[in-house]
Structure 1
Amino acid sequence: LHGLAAGWLYGDGPGAGSPPLLVEELSGREREVLGRLAQMMSTQEIAADLYVSVNTVKTHLKSIYRKLGVGRRGDAVRRAHERGLL
């Protein structure tokens, strides 16, 4: 088991080279936010476009990052493209 776990930790185990699967499916609103991220819109612009508060957009972004297994906007957009979400 130790060797198998080491392979997953260092990227040479089963499934190496492919991004991890989604933890959960994105909601419709999260997909809308993600689409606007891909258009390089700021958090404030996304909030205005969707008629929600900036804090609501930030909450959606946190959820998107968690579900895609990323920590930044650019990584989220890249991962979404890899997974065919955009």
Structure 2
Amino acid sequence: MLRLLAEMRSTEEIAADLHVSVNTVKTHLKSIYRKLAVSRRSDAVRRARERRLL
């Protein structure tokens, strides 16, 4: 999911690519944001790159 997030895809596009619901993507994104201690997509991508998760 982080890889797709880094490609700046929309929530709907991520859901379609992963064959899950939009709500599932939102739930996972909230978890990712919490674990990376961020509140925005761009911050999540930046922090993931800093931690070499991407």
TM-score by length of 1: 0.62
Structure number with greater Rg is 1
Q: Point out 4+ residue stretches in structure 1 off by more than 3 angstroms.
A: none
Q: 1:68 aligns with which of 36, 44, 48?
A: 36
- Give distance in 2, aligned partners of 1:34 and 1:56: 14
Gaps spanning 5+ residues in structure 2: where? Answer: none
Mapping of residues 2-81 of structure 1, within 5 Å: 33-81=1-49
Q: Give 1 or 2: higher helix fraction.
A: 2
1:39-65 Cα shifts (integer Å, max 9, x gaps): 110000000000000000000000000
Gaps spanning 5+ residues in structure 1: where? Answer: 1-32
**Aligned residue identity for 1:47:** A
Q: Tell which has more relative contact order, 1 or 2 (C-alpha 8 A, sep 6+).
A: 2
Q: Over the residues paired in the alignment, what is the CA RMSD in angstroms? A: 0.3
Identity, % of aligned positions: 78
Q: CA deviation at 1:73?
A: 0.1
